[in-house]
Amino acid sequence: MPKPPEELAKVYRANDSLIGFGVQIAISFFLFVFGGYWLDEALGTKPLFLIVGTLCTLTAIGALIWKMLREIDKKRQQPPTSADHET
């Protein structure tokens, strides 16, 4: 039995931050790692910039995780509103 559109909209809204998180990880991976690889190819410094790009990627992903955890913690500490108790 398919879910009603309102229920699907709730599910999508609840997961939009996770989708954005995945996109941010993919973009940071692409920019830093492949950018480092490209710089190594252009400057002939293999694997210096690839390693630097990988470390930058890990730092960026760590910062994204930290930010996401802080947002989740902030949402958990907020008192429930009347909209949360709809049945």
Average pLDDT over residues 31-50: 96
Structure tokens at 55: 């470390």
What's the rounded Cα separation, in Å, for the pair 31 and 42?
16
pTM for this entry: 0.69
Residue 34 vs residue 2, higher pLDDT: 34
Whether residue 51 is contained in a domain is answered as yes
C-alpha distance from residue 26 to each of 20, 51, 87 (Å):
10, 17, 37
User: Residue 68 is part of which domain span?
Assistant: 29-73
Q: What is the pLDDT, as a whole number, of residue 78?
A: 78
Predicted confidence band of residue 31 (pLDDT cuts 50, 70, 90) = very high
3-class SS letters over 10-45: HHHHHHHHHHHHHHHHHHHHHHHHHHHHHHHHHHCC
Whether residue 11 is contained in a domain is answered as no
Give the tens place of pLDDT for each residue, 61-86: 999 899 988 988 888 887 766 665 55
Whether residue 50 is contained in a domain is answered as yes
Quickly tell me which residue has 């559109």 as its tokens: 5
Whether residue 18 is contained in a domain is answered as no
Residues 6+ apart with CB under 8 A from 33: 50, 53, 54, 57
Predicted confidence band of residue 87 (pLDDT cuts 50, 70, 90) = low
Length of the chain: 87
What's the rounded Cα separation, in Å, for the pair 49 and 46?
7
Whether residue 60 is contained in a domain is answered as yes
Q: What is the pLDDT, as a whole number, of residue 61?
A: 92
Share above pLDDT 70 across residues of the chain, in percent, rounded to a whole number: 87
Instruction: Report the number of distinct structural domains present in the chain.
Output: 1
